[in-house]
C-alpha cells in the first residue's frame, strides 16, 4: 500500500484558488469518506485550513490513485485547466515528512504557529469517526502528532510573538500577569489600536476607555468593545486609573508628555504603567519611558521584537527537521506506510 498526499497551500495557490477547495469542518468526515470510497483507495483524510487543503490517501498504486483523485476533484469542483499547477504531490516517506512538517508548524505562513496542530487533529478525528482511516493513516497521524509535540517541546520554534499585537499583549501579561485586574485606555480610535485592545480584552482585560478627538468615533469604538468613551481633553484624568495605554492618533506631534504622567503618578501610587505607542509620528514623548514605573514600547521596538522572534524561529528549522527525520527513521523501522506488506 502506498501513501499519497495531494495538496495546495498559501505558497502554491492564491486565496481565490484555495477557497474553491476549502472544506468546512462539518464536512471533513464526509470528504474523507468520499476519498476512501474511490476505487483502489483504502483510506482517506482531508485537511482544510485557511492556508491549505490537503488530501491524504492510501492506495495500492499511488500514481493511479492520484489520477483518480484529480478526476474526482475535476468533477466536484470543475477545475480550470491551470488550477492543477497549484497542486503539489508527495508520495510515501515524502508525504509522511510533509505531514510532520505541517503538524510542527514548519509549513505554516506564520512559522511555528500552534493552531495548525489542533486543525490537523480535528481533521484526523473527523476522518476517524467517519471510518475513512485504518491502520496506515492511523499510525501515520498518531506518529505525526507525537513528532509535532516533540518538535515544539525540544526546540523554541513557537517561542516569542511574531506580530506587533501579540508582542504587546504578551508584554502586558509579563507586567501585569492576569489581565483581569487591568484597565486599558486607547488614545485615538485607529485600526491598530482597536486590534491590540481587542487582543487585550480577549485575554481578560477588565475595562477599556476610548479617547478620540472625534467623540462620536470614540463612542462607536467603545460600544463595539464594551468599553467607555472619554472626551479627548479628559484622558489625563483616566490615566490615573488605567494600567495600559495604547496610543495611535494621527497627531503630528507627541500628545503624552512626561509632565502628564508625572502629574498622575501620586494618584496612581506609582503602580506600573505600560505604554504602547503604535503611532507614526510617535504620540508619546520618549522621556516618558525614563519614569521608573513606566514601560514604553513604540512601533519600531515592537516590530523589532516580532522580527527577532521570527528570526529565532527560523534558526530552529534545521533542528526541527533533524527531529522529524530521526522520528521518521524510527517509524520506518517499525514498518513505514511505504514498506508495509500489501494488505491483500
Partner 1 sequence: MDRWLLITSTVLAIVGSVGGMVSVHHGHRSRWTVAWMAGVLVCQIAVLALRGQHRNVCPLADRGEILVFLAWALTLFYLLVGPTYRISLLGVFTAPVVAVFQLVALVPGVLEADPHPMTGGNPWHEMHSATSVLAYGALALASVAGVMFLVLDRQLKEHHLHSGLFRRLPPVRGLLVSLERLLWLGGGLLTLGVLAGFLMPRALEGPDHAKVIGHTLAALVVWAGYALLLAVKTVRGLTGRQLALLAVGWFILSLGVFAFV
Positions that interact with partner 1 (CB under 8 A): 156, 159-160, 171, 173-177, 266, 268-272, 289, 292-293, 295, 297, 301, 304-305, 308-309, 312
Which element (helix H / strand E) includes 136? helix 135-154
Q: Which is nearer to partner 1, 176 or 209 (CB)?
A: 176
The alpha carbon of residue 328 and the mean position of all alpha carbons in its chain are separated, in whole angstroms, by 26
Q: Do residues 1 and 343 make contact, with C-beta atoms less than 8 angstroms apart? A: yes
Q: Which three cell numbers stand for residue 276?
A: 504602547
- E-assigned strands of the chain? 2-9, 41-48, 52-59, 88-91, 183-187, 207-212, 228-231, 244-247, 273-277, 294-298
> How far, rounded to the nearest angstrom, does the alpha carbon of residue 184 sit from its chain's CA centroid?
24
Please name which of 22, 8, 31, 4 lies closest in space to residue 82, comparing C-alpha atoms: 8
Q: How far is the CB of 167 from partner 1 (least distance, A)?
A: 8
Closest Cα partner for 167 from 325, 336, 300? 300
CB of residue 272 vs partner 1: minimum separation in angstroms? 5
Smaller CB separation from partner 1, 122 or 163: 163
**What residue spans of 155-297 are helical by DSSP H?**
164-176, 191-202, 215-225, 235-239, 258-268
Residue closer to partner 1 by CB (options 142, 270) is: 270
Per the CB < 8 A criterion, the answer to whether 176 and 203 are in contact is no
The CB-of-133 to partner 1 minimum distance in angstroms stands at: 35
Residue 265: CB minimum distance to partner 1, A: 8
For partner 1, the closer of residues 64 and 303 by Cβ is 303
Tell me the closest approach of the beta carbon of residue 343 to partner 1, in angstroms. Answer: 44
Q: How many Å apart are CA 18 and CA 88, to the nearest integer?
A: 13
Residue 33 annotated in active site: no
26/269 with CB nearer partner 1: 269
Q: Which of 50, 100, 251, 320 is catalytic?
A: 50
Task: Return the active site residues.
Answer: 50
Amino acid at each position: 500500500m502506498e501513501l499519497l498526499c495531494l495538496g495546495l497551500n498559501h505558497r502554491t495557490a492564491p486565496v481565490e484558488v484555495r477557497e474553491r477547495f476549502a472544506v468546512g469542518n462539518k464536512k471533513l468526515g464526509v470528504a474523507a469518506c468520499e476519498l476512501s470510497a474511490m476505487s483502489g483507495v483504502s483510506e482517506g483524510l482531508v485537511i482544510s485550513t485557511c492556508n491549505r487543503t490537503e488530501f491524504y490517501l492510501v492506495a495500492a498504486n499511488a500514481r493511479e490513485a492520484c489520477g483518480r483523485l484529480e478526476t474526482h476533484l475535476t468533477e466536484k469542483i470543475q477545475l480550470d485547466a491551470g488550477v492543477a499547477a497549484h497542486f503539489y504531490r508527495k508520495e510515501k516517506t515524502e508525504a509522511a515528512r510533509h505531514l510532520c512538517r505541517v503538524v510542527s508548524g514548519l509549513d505554516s505562513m506564520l512559522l511555528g504557529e500552534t493552531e495548525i496542530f489542533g486543525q490537523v487533529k480535528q481533521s484526523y478525528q473527523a476522518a476517524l469517526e467517519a471510518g475513512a482511516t485504518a491502520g496506515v493513516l492511523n499510525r501515520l497521524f498518531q506518529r505525526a502528532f507525537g513528532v509535532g509535540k516533540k518538535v515544539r517541546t525540544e526546540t523554541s520554534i513557537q517561542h516569542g510573538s511574531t506580530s506587533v499585537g501579540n508582542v504587546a499583549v504578551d508584554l502586558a501579561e509579563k507586567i501585569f500577569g492576569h489581565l483581569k485586574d487591568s484597565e486599558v485606555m486607547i488614545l485615538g480610535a485607529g485600526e491598530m489600536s482597536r486590534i491590540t485592545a481587542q487582543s487585550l480584552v480577549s485575554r481578560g482585560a477588565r475595562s477599556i476607555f476610548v479617547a478620540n478627538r472625534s467623540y462620536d468615533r470614540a463612542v462607536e469604538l467603545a460600544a463595539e468593545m464594551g468599553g467607555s468613551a472619554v472626551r479627548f481633553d479628559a484622558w489625563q484624568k483616566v490615566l490615573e486609573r488605567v494600567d495600559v495605554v495604547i496610543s495611535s492618533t494621527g497627531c503630528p506631534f507627541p500628545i503624552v508628555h512626561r509632565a502628564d504622567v508625572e502629574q498622575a503618578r501620586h494618584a496612581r501610587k506609582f503602580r506600573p504603567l505600560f505604554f504602547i505607542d503604535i503611532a507614526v509620528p510617535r504620540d508619546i514623548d520618549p522621556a516618558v519611558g525614563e519614569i521608573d514605573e513606566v514601560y514604553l514600547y513604540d512601533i519600531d521596538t515592537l516590530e523589532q521584537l516580532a522580527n527577532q522572534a521570527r528570526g529565532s524561529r527560523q534558526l530552529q528549522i534545521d533542528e526541527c527537521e533533524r527531529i522529524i527525520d530521526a522520528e521518521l527513521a524510527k517509524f520506518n523501522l517499525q514498518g513505514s506506510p511505504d514498506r508495509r506488506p500489501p494488505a491483500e
